[in-house]
Chain A
Amino acid sequence: MGALANAFYNSVVKRNSVYVTSIFAGAFAFGVGFDTAITSFWDSWNKGKQWKDIRDKYVQDADS
C-alpha cells in the first residue's frame, strides 16, 4: 500500500504539470466513459421501446 502510494506520488503528483495534465486527461476519459456507460445503460433499460429497436417492423429498406 505504501509502495503503491509512493509510486503514484513520484510518477504523477510530483510535477504539477504532469498532475494537472493527467487530471485533464482523466476528465476527458471519464467524460467519454461516463457517456458511453450511461448510454448503454439507457439502451438496455429501454430495450424494445426505442425507434432503432422497432424500426425493422415498420420500415422495409429497398435493398433489404
Chain B
Amino acid sequence: MAAVQLAKKAVSLPPTCRTLASGVPAASYINFNVREPAGHGHAHGHGAAGPRSDVPARWAGGVSTSSSAGLVSKSFVSVPSTGVLQRRLMHSTLPAKVEPQVPDFSHYEAKSDSTNRGVAYMMIGGMGLLSASVAKSTVTEFLSTMAASADVLAMAKVEIELASIPEGKNAIIKWRGKPVFIRHRTQDEVQEARQTDWKALRDPQRDEERTKKPEWLVMLGVCTHLGCVPIGEAGDFGGWFCPCHGSHYDISGRIRKGPAPSNLEVPVYDFDEANNLLVIG
C-alpha cells in the first residue's frame, strides 16, 4: 500500500521536453555529447571511457547553445505536435462556409427600371447621333477633296472683250479645252431666231432660253452628234454646219437637219457690264 502511494505521488518537476512551434521536440539541459566521466568508480564492462554509444547521429539532432535557453538539444524526428500554437489550414481544408452563397447585388441594381431603360436608350441614341454626324462629315470631307480648288476655278474662266467682236461676226475661243462660239448677231438674225416655230424642232427650245442678251449668242462649238467642230456661217439655215456628218444648226444654234440629236450646248457665262467683258465659266 505504501509502495502504491509512493508511485502515485505527484511531484512538480520541470518538463524535460517541450515541443517547439515547428513540432520539433526540444529537451533542454540534456547533452548527449557529453562524455561519461572517466572512471566513475566502477568497472562493470560497458567499455572504455569515450563518446557515449547512444549518441544519436547528427542528422537526427544535436546540441547547441542558446543565449536565452542555454543548452538546447534538438532531435529531428517526426513526432506529433503536442500543442497547437496557431491555426494551420491545408489547401484541402474546407472553409467555414461550405454552401455557395450569392453576394448581395442590390446596391448595384438600378433604382428604377423605367429610368434605367430611358437612360440606356438615350445613350444608344446619342451614340448613333454622333456616329451619323461623323460618317456624314467623313463622306462630305472626302468628296470635297475631289472638288476643284479656288485657284483652279479661277483659271477655268475666260474673259473676252465684247468690243472686239463686230456685229455679224463670229469669234471662236478656247475654254477648258473646247471651242466656244460667240456670235454677235444682227437684228435680222435675232428676228429670224425668235420667229422660228421652235415647237416643231427636234430639240424644242426658245431663243430667249439660249441667250442672255439677244445679240450675243454663246455656245460650245462641239457638235452634239459625234463631237466635231461645226463651221460657222454655213449650212441651210444660216447658222453652223458640221462637215463630218452634215448636221445643220440655225442662227440660234438649234439642230434643224442632220444626225445630231440636240442643240449646241450653252455654257455658263456672264456679262461684266462695267468693263464690257464676257466671262465664260
> In whole angstroms, what is the CA distance A31 to B115 when docked?
28
State which residues 5-22 of A face B: CB under 8 Å. 5-6, 8-9, 12-13, 19-20, 22
A23 touches B115 (CB 8 A): no
| B76 close to A (CB within 8 Å) | no
A23 shortest CB reach to chain B, Å? 5
Interface centre among A8, A27, A34 (most CB of B within 10 A): A27
- B119 within 8 Å of A by Cβ? yes
Specify which chain A residues have a CB less than 8 angstroms from the CB of B118 in the assembled complex. Answer: 4-6, 8-9
In angstroms, Cα B115 to Cα A12, docked, is 15
**Closest A residue, CB atoms, query B135:** A27
Chain B contact residues: over half helix, strand or loop, or mixed?
helix
- Could you tell me if B125 and A27 are in contact, using CB atoms closer than 8 angstroms? no
- With CB as the reference atom, state the residue of chain B lying closest to A5: B118
Contact B133 A27 (CB under 8 A): yes
Q: Is A1 an interface residue (CB 8 A)?
A: yes
Interface SS of chain A: helix
User: What is the chain B residue whose CB lies nearest that of A26?
Assistant: B129
**Contact yes or no, B117 A5, CB < 8 A:** yes
Question: In the assembly, what is the distance between CA of A1 and CA of B122, in Å?
Answer: 13
B 110-150 to A, binary, CB cutoff 8 A, 1 in contact else 0? 00101101110110010011101100110000000000000
Contacts of B122 in A (CB 8 A): 8
- Using A1-B115, A27-B136 as known contacts, say yes or no to A8 and B121 having CB atoms under 8 A apart: yes
Whether A23 pairs with B128 at a CB distance below 8 angstroms is yes
* Residue numbers in B under 8 Å from A13 (CB-CB): 121, 125
Q: Closest chain A residue to B125 by CB distance?
A: A23
How many interface residues does chain B have, given as a range? 10 to 19
Query: Is there an interface contact between B115 and A27, defined as CB atoms closer than 8 Å?
Result: no
Which of B112, B125, B129, B133 meets A2, CB within 8 Å? B112
Q: Does A41 contact B (CB under 8 A)?
A: no
Q: A5-B119, A8-B118 are in contact. Are A23 and B112 (CB under 8 A)?
A: no
Contact of B112 among A1, A19, A22 (CB under 8 A): A1
Minimal beta-carbon separation of B207 from chain A (angstroms): 35
Query: What is the chain B residue whose CB lies nearest that of A6?
Result: B114
What 7 new A-B contacts, CB under 8 Å, besides A13-B121, A27-B130? A1-B115, A5-B117, A9-B118, A26-B125, A27-B128, A30-B133, A34-B133
**Top 6 A-B pairs ranked by shortest CB distance?**
A5-B118, A27-B132, A23-B128, A13-B121, A2-B114, A5-B115
Pairs A–B under 8 Å by Cβ, sample size 25: A1-B115, A2-B115, A5-B114, A5-B118, A8-B122, A9-B114, A9-B118, A12-B121, A12-B125, A13-B121, A13-B125, A19-B121, A20-B128, A23-B125, A23-B128, A23-B129, A24-B132, A27-B128, A27-B129, A27-B130, A27-B132, A27-B133, A27-B136, A30-B129, A31-B133
